[in-house]
Structure formats: structure tokens, C-alpha cells
Chains A and B, each alone.
Chain A
Amino acid sequence: MEYALTLDGVTKRFGHFVAVNQLSLRIPKGSVYGFLGPNGAGKTTTIRMIMSIFYPDEGTISVLGHPNAEEVKDRLGYLPEEKGLYKKMKTAEIIAYFGKLKGMPSAKAKQRAVEMLQKYGLADWVDKRCEQLSKGMSQKVQVLGTLIHDPELVILDEPFSGLDPVNAELMRDIILNMKREGRTVIFSTHVMEHAEQLCDYIFLINRGNKVLDGTLAEVKKGGEHGIQIDYDGDGSILKTIPGVTRVNDSGKTAEMFMANGHDPQEILARLVGKLRIRRFDIREPSLHEIFIRAVGGKSDE
């Protein structure tokens, strides 16, 4: 398999604090790869090292076959978590400026910026200044600025944070579209649904250490099966049912895990009458459960 990105024993220390420890990863070309982990786990540091904004203290990184991202910066697209726009510039101007910084000829960058704005429903905003945009629109402009030069490898740091459902849907479409076009997409998130829906591969990091990586199926395979229900009623009683060890209650849906030797049917019987059960299902654990178990239920906020 061809890899768009490989990391080998990469370590990054800030003083005595180890932000990323001995990380090795292989990211196949054309895949959608999710970086998961709680806040402060080292996702952003890893991404910044890939982008050569930080240099690793140990280990090597190879991006698109080059040991240093500086050499291939023009073939990469990067949307950082902390992102902004020049407020006084017009939307098309700033997208074109990002394109020019990636080595596009000026005229082509301008033309493409306008085309992209039209394609993504911002045709009316071509001549507007960035300060007039709503948050969702400026996020769109930022994404377009990341993609204007048709990058081979796209890295999005928390692309879904702060997006409403409509814009989140659009973001999903953009990612899937890039995958279809054969680009490699890496994105970080701590919302498991996004990862479950989109990723071919995931990588879970906690406190600077890799917890697991692989395809979605591989990651889930080893895990303990659980009961998933859809229900109406007071979910707080779920925890009181004998034999249930853990509950991930979301209000209308819940995931439960049983102590050894208990029968799911027995649990169903105890639930009936107390709650209105609309679905009852036994399956591999959700990514959420894997995540929680891996990080020990705590995050380093």
C-alpha cells in the first residue's frame, strides 16, 4: 500500500512535558483518517509537526514521500483549529491570496476563488468583506481557502467544531467528495459520530500516547459487545438494573454493558414496564465506548 504520510517514533517534548510520545502511524493514500482523543491529548501537536510548524524532537515524518513538509507545503491543505480571516479583505480576495501563497498564478487563483464561492452557495458574497460574514459562512470561506489549490493531502483540525447541522452536513459532503477525488483526508475530532460516519481509519491518542489505530472494523472487533436501546422515559433507572455495569445514556438512546454471566433477555425483561423500549439491539461497542474505555473516563481538560 502507498502511504500519504508516515510517522516513525515521533516524540515532542515541551520542557519536561511529553506532548507526543514515540508515535508511529501509517496513513494510506486516498483514505479518510480520523484523529481522535480528548482535549490536550496531542492531536494538534501531532498535526503541527506534520505541517512542520513544530519540529519533532525525535523520530521522522515523511509527507507525500518527503521527509519535510516544507518541501511539499504547496501540495498540502491545512485548516487549523484556531483559524481566522483578514476582516477587511473580500472573500474572493482572501481565498485567492491563500491560493497564491500555495504557488498558484494570480489570475488562476482569482478565477478559481470566484468559482468555488459560487459552487458552495456564496455567489452573493464574492464582493463582501469577511467581517460581514456569519460564523458558518466564514468557516466555509476558510475551508475553500484550504482547498483552492487542489491539495493531495488535506489536514483538518476540528473541522466540525462550532458548525450547525446544515454546515456540518456540508462539511461531511466536502470530506466525502475529496475522498472520491482520491485525496487523502486527515481530520481530528472528539465527536465520535463524525468519525464513525466518515472514517476509513481511526487513530486514538491519549496523553501523548497512541492508544489504538486501524480500520474502524479492526478497532471495534476486539471490544466487548453491548446492548443498545432506544427508549422513552426516565433513563436514570438504567443504572439500577442488576447485572448492568456501565451505561452511556444519551436521553433517548443508551448503551449498556453487562457483568459476565448475565443474559440480555433478563435485562430486557426488567426494562419492560419501567421504560417504553422502541429498539433493543446487541452489537459491537460504539466508538464512544471504545474512546471512554481507552482514556479511562477522564480527559485532561
Chain B
Amino acid sequence: MSKAFLVAQREYVENLKTKTFWIGILSFPVILSLSILVPMWLESTKDTRKYAVIDQSGWLLPKVEERAELPDLEKFFLEMWKKPELLANADSKVIPMMDEFRKRAGKLSDEEVQQAAKQFSDTLTPGSDSPVLASLPSEAKEALVQLREEIRRAWKAMPPEEARKISRDFSKSRYQRIETTDSEEALKHRIDKDELFAYIVIGKDPLDGSDGCKYVSNNLTDESLKDWFARTATEVVRERRISDAKIDASVAKHIQEPLAFVETKVGKGGEETKVTDQDTVRQWAPVGFVYLLWISVFTVAQMLLTNTVEEKSNRIIEVLLSSVSPIQLMIGKIAGIAATGLTVLGSWIVFFFLGTTLVPKMLGRPLPIDFSIILSDPVYLSSFVAYFFLGYLLFAAILVGMGSVCNSLKEAQNLLQPVFILLIVPILAMMPIGKDPNGTLAKVMSFIPPFTPFVMMNRAAGPPTTFEYVATTILLVVSIIGAMWFAAKIFRIGILMTGKPPKFREILGWLRAPVGALPVRKEE
């Protein structure tokens, strides 16, 4: 076996010198950081959308603008609460007032702060206290009213550029209305020249219905301006209709109150716990793992195939066979490339760990969702490594056998097409299984050996029963041993064969033939 080790060692060392290896190692962190940075960058380069409004009703537009400010104020309040230093140079009055409120209110829970901010948008029953805040001392309530007034004033005085610096999520920083008396024709012309993103027409009687309301823009994909404006206008109209119908504000509020369902799950002991973001991450993490598993198994198994075919077309095989047996050669190659693959995977895990835990910690900016749960769950990581290994061995056996009968990569690719078509299946099943990890589809597919590694990984959030783990693993290991046995028989004959690739029936003949017998081939 020491010769197989030498083969594996050479394979590993030579692979480390290839570009493919380093591209494999570096592609993951590059893709990872690009997938985080590019959307951030795109978001930051997004221009403020300029729009114009023709208000035929004569009253709706100012109300809409007033109404649109409320969510901004709520957000602004929360931003200030978290990071008062943001406003340090903009306005000095807000901060002492905020401190005053803090002092009078004592320690506030997150929910109380949320409610304090929410009161900005409570337009139906202004001034009424939410039940959460009712317990505050009256001097704290007074301070809060004054603080709100001050925040409202400071916000109004703040130019859009300043608001943009604090956050891009304010409607103030995203949309800018152009004051205009132009006719519709002129506005159309301006849209055509890209001076305007869109213009909006408000109908004569919005209280009556949507007649005459329209939104005109040449950008058909970004509908956020339309949605935002329509939503705000709808709210204003709805409030007006409520008051016109003489419905009591608190009744209207009560009617509109949605039913909120608290999402909970039941733990092992039967106790009920609230569902957090982490649970969602945990539930969907296996899907990510399956994808990674699939890519890595195939990249590495294909590396083995390429390598085998190249070695064969290099005519180096027979030289090697004078020193090692074909089986030693095959085992050495499979092991050497497995080591290469595990190195790449290991580096990915390290990069992932650094990217999700250490780097944000160092930068002092925690990620919005805590991904570290993926790494701290031993089931995920260990099943990932185990299924990579088992999956690789199974496909390595198939591909090394196939590779040994091919003389060129092109032949190999033709031969592999049916295998790849078959292997799309776990990718197609990935989402359905992610949603229903213990469903019939998932259970049945777990017992089909070529799918087992991917499907079982996919189900890790379930998780499958111990019986399923044991049974599918036994089945998989038996298949691997079988596939290796077939591969060894094909390998030792195929590897010395040149000329046309053999027919499938010929290969079946090799499996029956005793080791070392090469069936005759007619060549012209």
C-alpha cells in the first residue's frame, strides 16, 4: 500500500501546483464577498428617483407628503436612539432632549422604544398612548412628546443629502419630487430625455375611486416609487373616507388591526419556543450545503476523470504499471485527489468562519443574521464532510472507470452526459426537500445511493431518524464498494487500451473476465 501512498502523494503535490487548485480555493471567498459587496454597492449607487406629480384633486398631494414623512420619522427616531452621534453636528437640541427622556423613563425595553417610535405613524388616534407605554411615568411621557416635536422639526430642516448619509432607506433619500407646473406633454418629454424618472397623475376625485390616477415611467422593473406613492396615498384616502363616514377613529383602528400570529416551534422536551431568525437560517442552511456539496463533489470527481484521461493520453500509464499494480494506481489517484478536494473544502470552511464571525467582530459590525449557527451545529459540518467523502468515493469510482476507457476528454464528456443528466435530480429536488425534509420524496430519494449524500445533507434540518442515517449509509457504502470493484476491473483493462472507446457490451464482458484478460478488439 505504500506505493498507493506514493501515487497519492505525487497527485496531491502536483495538484497544489496547478492553477485550477488555487482558483478553486480563492473562488469561494471572492464569490462570498462579491455576493455581499455588489448588492451593497449597487444600492449605494442607486440615484435618488426624481418624479413629478400633477394633482387634479387639489388636496391629496400635500397630505401624501405629510403622511410619507411619518415612517421616515419613526426610522429616524430609532436611528437616533441607537446612534445619537449621527446627529452630533446637525442639530444639538435633539440629543439633550433624548437624554432627558432616557433619564426620566429609566431603562426601556426594545419593545417600548419601538412603540415610542411607532407613535409617529399613529395618525388615527394621535396622542393616545400604546398599552406598552402607558406604564411610563408621566414626566417621561411629557419628555417623549417634546422629543418627538423636536425630532419632527429637525427632520424637516434636514436636507435630503444629510438624510442620505444617515440611511438610504428614508423615502426622503430615495425619492425627490420636482416642483413643476409643466403640462403632461412636457413631462413626457422630460421622461424621454431621462431628466425625470416618472410622473404621477392624481385623479379629480380620489375619494370616489382610482379614475384618472396614473403612473408614467419608462423603467418597468423598478416599481418601488410607484408602490411607495400608491401605498401612502391609499392610507391618506382611507383615513379621509373613515372620517367622512363619521366612524370613530379608535373603532377604525380596531377594525384595521391585523391578527398577528406568533411563530413558535416545539423543542424535544415539548416546550414551546419562539422562532428566531437563527431557526430560519438553520432550516435553510442545508440547502446551501447541498449546493456546495454538489459543486465540490463534481469538481473533484471531474478532476479525477480529467487527470485519468490525460495520464492515459500521455502514455505514462504503462511505465507506472511496471512499478505499481493497476489497483494501487487507482487507489492512489482517488486518495490523492480526495486529499486535494478536502484541502479546498477545508479552506472554504475557514473562509466562511472568518467571513461570518471573525471579520464582522473585528469591524464591530455584526451581520444582520447570525450565520455562525451553521458552523456551531456539529451535525451540519460533520455530515457535510462525511457526505462529501462518501459522495466523492461513489462518483470517483464511476468516473475513474469511465475515464480509463476514454482516450480524450471529448470522448469522456460524451460518455458522461447520461451521468450528469441523472445528477441534476438532487439539484431539482433541493428546494422541495428543503421545505419538507421528512416528506415522502425526501425519504424515498435518500435510499437511492447516487442521491443519498445530497438528499441526506438536504434533510439535515429535519433531521432524519437514526435508522435512516444508518440504513442509507450502509446502502451507500455497499454501493461504493460495488462501484469500486467494477471500476477496478474496468480500470485495469481500459487503462491500457487505445483506439476507439469500447462499447458498453464489451465493458460488461470485462466484468466477467478474470483479472488481466484483455478481450480482442478488431481494429482496421
Q: Which A residues are within 8 Å of any B CB, using their own CB?
A: 14-17, 48, 51, 53-55, 57, 70, 73-74, 76-80, 82-89, 97-98, 100-102, 142, 145-146
Contact = CB atoms under 8 A, between A and B. Distances in A.
B319 A78 contact: yes
B14 A83 contact: no
A83 B318 contact: yes
Contacts of A76: 322
Interface string B487-498: 000000000101
A186 to B, nearest CB: 13
B315 interface: yes
Contacts of B10: 97
B316 A85 contact: yes
B6 A86 contact: no
Nearest to B7: A101
Interface of B: 3, 6-7, 10, 14, 17-18, 311, 314-316, 318-325, 496, 498, 514-521
B14 A89 contact: yes
A53 B321 contact: yes
B315 A84 contact: yes
B331 to A, nearest CB: 14
B319 A145 contact: yes
B518 A101 contact: no
A14 B522 CA distance: 11
A204 B253 CA distance: 107
Given A101-B3, A101-B6, A82 B315 contact: yes
Majority secondary structure of chain B interface residues (helix, strand, loop or mixed): loop
The 5 A-B pairs at the shortest CB distance, nearest first, are namely A78-B322, A15-B520, A14-B520, A55-B516, A84-B315
B14 A84 contact: no
A57 B517 CA distance: 8
B14 A54 contact: no
Contacts of A88: 14, 17-18
Contacts, number: 75
A16 B519 CA distance: 9
A54 B518 contact: yes
Contacts of A77: 322
Nearest to B325: A70
B320 A101 contact: yes
Given A78-B322, A101-B324, A86 B517 contact: no
Nearest to B314: A84
Contacts of B516: 53-55
Contact of B520 (A16, A82, A84): A16
B314 A80 contact: no
A48 B6 CA distance: 23
A76 B14 CA distance: 26
Contacts of B498: 82
B495 to A, nearest CB: 10
A121 B324 CA distance: 29
A100 B321 contact: no
Given A53-B321, A78-B322, A97-B10, 16 more contacts: A14-B517, A53-B322, A54-B518, A73-B323, A80-B315, A82-B498, A83-B316, A84-B314, A84-B319, A85-B316, A86-B316, A88-B14, A100-B6, A101-B6, A102-B323, A142-B319
B316 A84 contact: yes
Contacts of A16: 520
Given A14-B519, A16-B520, A55-B517, A98 B6 contact: no
Contacts of B314: 84-87
A83 B315 contact: yes
9 contacts: A53-B318, A53-B321, A79-B319, A80-B315, A86-B314, A87-B314, A88-B14, A88-B18, A101-B320
A51 B325 contact: no
A87 B520 CA distance: 31
A101 B9 CA distance: 11
